[in-house]
Amino acid sequence: MADVSHELRTPLTVMESSLRAALDHVYTLDESEVANLYGQTRHLIRLVSDLRELSLAESGHLPLEKIPTDIQQIITDSLQALEPLSGRKWSNGK
């Protein structure tokens, strides 16, 4: 739980201090700073969403949707994504 607290507190502290400075007219937020604050907000939303999913999973209430999956296509796509790292060309399982 300490890790969760840290992950939430850090972006909140950055956001709070930037916004407080702007409100106190210490400085004006430029577009890049507003974009950074927006990114921090999106990050926090993802963290909270992940926490909710984790809580649902731990309680056995996470709904799962089973769908047909082409495992061969997943493997091929994965190998092709790794081609630049391996230096090899992957083509249809050969």
Query: What is the distance between the alpha carbons of residues 50 and 52, in angstroms, rounded to a whole number?
Result: 5
> What is the structure's pLDDT at 91?
63
Residue 79: closest CA among 59, 63, 62, 93: 93
Residue 45: closest CA among 22, 1, 6, 11: 11
> What is the structure's pLDDT at 5?
78
> What is the structure's pLDDT at 61?
92
> What is the structure's pLDDT at 6?
79
Residues of the chain below pLDDT 70: 1-2, 89-94
The answer to whether the pTM exceeds 0.75 is no
> What is the structure's pLDDT at 92?
58
Residue 80: closest CA among 70, 69, 68, 94: 94
